[in-house]
Every structure is written in C-alpha cells, then in structure tokens.
Amino acid sequence: MPNAADTDSILLQNLADAGCSPETVRQCMALIREQDQSELMRVLSRHRRALLDTLHQSEKQIDCLDYLLYILEKQHK
C-alpha cells in the first residue's frame, strides 16, 4: 500500500502530465489536503475545458491548412 508521500508524488506527476501550471498544481494539492473535493473537481474541470478549447482551436487550424493544401494541389494538377 503506498504511503502519503508516494500518493503525493503520483498526484503531482499526474497533474504535471495533464499540463497543469505550477499554480494549479499547488492549488490542487492544497485542496486535496483540505479534502475539498468539490472545489478540486471545479479546478480540474476548468483545466480540462481549457485543454479542450486549445484542442478545438488546433483542429480548426488543421482544417484551414487541409483546405489550403487541397486548393493548392487542385491548382497544381
């Protein structure tokens, strides 16, 4: 069974891997210590929404490039 230090290390690594800023990591760890799960869920959900917004913006940019490539290939033929 992992001890508290191991659990903290796992949580810290997971938050970092999820792209959380150092401030968000500190906030989440404090909320975990305070056992404020509802606020922790809000913070993590907000970060998830931000990641999805970034993903959707990247998808739109890829779509624009795909269209440009399509037009250029069509003109080249």
Per domain, the residue ranges of the chain are 4-76
- Going by pLDDT thresholds of 50, 70 and 90, the confidence category of residue 2 is low
Provide the percentage of residues in the chain whose pLDDT is more than 70: 95
The pLDDT of residue 1 = 44
pTM here? 0.81
Q: How far is CA 55 from the centre of its chain?
A: 9
Question: Would the pLDDT of 5 be above 80?
Answer: no
Identify whether the C-beta of residue 56 lies closer than 8 Å to the C-beta of residue 48.
Answer: no
> Exposed e or buried b for every residue in 12-44, given b needs 16+ CB within 10 A?
eeebeeeebeeebbebbeebeeeeeeeebeeeb
Mean pLDDT of all residues belonging to the chain: 94
Read off the pLDDT of residues 51-68 as tens digits, 9 standing for 90 and up. 999 999 999 999 999 999
Residue from 12, 13, 40 nearest 28 by CA? 40
